[in-house]
Chains A and B, each alone.
Chain A
Amino acid sequence: MHELSVCQSIITQVAQIAHENNALAVTKVIVQIGPLSGIEAPLLEHAFPIASAGSIAQDAALETQILPIRVRCNICGNENEAAISKLLCSACGSWQTSLLSGDEMLLKSIELEKSEEQAHV
């Protein structure tokens, strides 16, 4: 996947939110990724400093949280964790399952540094 362009998209969003909140700087960016999103966390972490350089998030730490692949069986209703290329029900073996989590590509939250005055408003 194109982790650098994903990072650039993250920075654009983060900068806008920081601006809306009158922040001095962004200290942390938390993203949540599922294995089925096509985004690789290590590549994202490598690309982040390049994409954030010179932006309001240039000193921000990137935290990537990996969410598990979980499916619910459409046949027997069982819920279980599954592997990326085998989204099968562990109880009855059926492939007719629905994905509960595992394809997320979310900007979950960001942490902002604000001036003393603003913090007390």
Chain B
Amino acid sequence: MCDTCGCNVTDANRNLVEAGGKHAKTKAGNEAVEVLQNLLHENNHRAAHNREHFDKHQVLAINLMSSPGSGKTALLEATIDALKNSSEAFSIGVIEGDLETENDAQRIRDKHIPAIQITTGSACHLDAYMVHDALHELSLEGLDIVFIENVGNLVCPASFDLGHHLNVTLLSVTEGDDKPAKYPVMFRASDLTLLSKSDLLTVLDDFDVTRAEENIRNLANPAPVFQLSARKNIGMEAWINWLKQQIQHYKGHLESGETVLPKIQKEGQTLHKARYV
């Protein structure tokens, strides 16, 4: 996102947001100042710094979001295991966000992967400041991907830019196939949706994979939808391959002096091309 204005002022909505001029007088004689700044201006400013930091180290940052208990940490554990057996392995680091406890970071550290735990207290989402603080503790040297495991919540995390490059959202099949329709802000922002715990599909007669995908398409989101079970090691290959493609795609962008932004910010990206040459 940008520093100077609301990134969501685009050519398409400019006529709606820019009615009236700068520094006009109101009837009461007060001065009206046109601002057009994003409401989360400060967060976005910090997020841009975080992204610059990732880009300097050529580390792809992925914001992992879902409701609590849909298997984000289990996915990371299975990903670490899969990479150990992969011929073209890449190295990862993890930033964990939870209200309390070091449990999730410890699960990752047990697998000898660097993990920083952010405990948010009562905050229901991570923001760019918390991630910035965590980045002070996490060395990016030699890493290819940093996963930022957001607080389990399908609402708030979707609206806060952390300085990441991609959004991955998990939808566990025990949650119901209408979650994308119920939480459109989150699922519209996904660059990839993983239908997790897919091994349970055989015993769940009310989760329809086609319907889940339809609900995502209804949000005009063309991003892929994969089925996966971290515990039963199903569908991990497609996930790992997708990650490898994203690393290549990201490094290609860096070579041409551009960063990558989650797809949802596409229009903002065309308006404010971030260049770190």
Q: Do A and B come from one complex?
A: yes
Tier of interface size on chain B: 35 or more
List residues of chain B with CB within 8 A of the CB of A21: 31, 33
Known interface pairs A36-B184, A98-B220. Does A114 touch B31 (Cβ–Cβ under 8 Å)?
Answer: yes
Contact indicator A104/B8 (Cβ below 8 Å): yes
A50 to chain B, nearest CB (A): 16
Contact indicator A2/B156 (Cβ below 8 Å): yes
User: Is B86 positioned at the interface, with any CB of A under 8 Å from its CB?
Assistant: no
Among residues 10 to 56 in chain A, which have CB atoms less than 8 Å away from a CB atom of chain B?
Answer: 10, 12-13, 17, 21, 23, 27-28, 31-32, 34, 36-39
B223 to chain A, nearest CB (A): 12
Contact indicator B28/A27 (Cβ below 8 Å): yes
- The stretch of B13-21, B193-201, B246-254 in contact with A is B13-21
Contact indicator A37/B31 (Cβ below 8 Å): no
Tier of interface size on chain A: 35 or more
- Contact mask B7-34 → A, CB, 8 Å, 1/0? 0111011001100100000101111111
B190 to chain A, nearest CB (A): 14
- Contact mask B96-128 → A, CB, 8 Å, 1/0? 000000000000000000000000000111010
Contact indicator B159/A109 (Cβ below 8 Å): no
List residues of chain B with CB within 8 A of the CB of A106: 6, 8-9, 17, 36-39
- Contact mask A88-111 → B, CB, 8 Å, 1/0? 100000011111110111111111
B250 to chain A, nearest CB (A): 23
Bound CA span A56–B60, Å: 41
Among residues 182 to 223 in chain B, which have CB atoms less than 8 Å away from a CB atom of chain A?
Answer: 182, 184-185, 188, 215, 217-220, 222
How many A-B pairs have beta carbons closer than 8 Å: the answer is: 145
Q: How would you classify the secondary structure of chain A's contact residues: helix, strand, loop or mixed?
A: mixed
A-B contacts, 29 of them at CB < 8 A, read: A1-B155, A1-B159, A2-B156, A6-B39, A9-B39, A12-B42, A28-B26, A32-B17, A36-B188, A70-B13, A85-B184, A85-B215, A87-B188, A95-B217, A95-B218, A95-B220, A96-B222, A99-B12, A100-B10, A100-B13, A104-B6, A104-B8, A105-B38, A105-B39, A106-B37, A107-B35, A107-B36, A111-B31, A112-B31
- Contact surface of A with B, Cβ cutoff 8 Å: 1-2, 5-6, 9-10, 12-13, 17, 21, 23, 27-28, 31-32, 34, 36-39, 67, 70-72, 84-88, 95-101, 103-114, 119
- Contact surface of B with A, Cβ cutoff 8 Å: 6, 8-10, 12-13, 16-17, 20, 26, 28-43, 123-125, 127, 155-156, 158-159, 180-182, 184-185, 188, 215, 217-220, 222, 264, 267
